[in-house]
Amino acid sequence: MLTNCHVDRPGDVVTIGWSLPQTQSSVSTHLSSPENLHEWLGRPTTFDARVGGEIIVDHDDGYLCHSEVLSVAHGDGPSNAGSVELS
């Protein structure tokens, strides 16, 4: 579910937040594994999920989304919520 969207025109940045109604394990599996990412987003052509790495996803019809991994936080707190920040 889309939880927020913010446009910073001077900074040329769009921030989109999602809450996924899945278990922590399912989200981690799908977003951290190129074998499963295609089930939610598209086919990864490049997949380096480390901070500073690059992920390129082919959403079909040649539409490629290029992202740099900016941060990864694993669900260690009481809510067990994790996060991933991509450019």
pTM of the model: 0.68
How far is residue 30's CA from residue 32's CA, in Å, rounded to a whole number? Answer: 6
Selection from 34, 5, 7, 33 nearest residue 19 by Cα: 5
DSSP 70-82: EEEE-S-STT---
All structural domains of the chain with their residue ranges? 2-86
Statement: residue 80 has pLDDT above 60: no
Instruction: Tell me the average pLDDT across 69-86.
Output: 72
Amino acid at 40: W
Instruction: Tell me the average pLDDT across 49-77.
Output: 86
According to DSSP, the β-strands at 43-47 and 54-58 are antiparallel
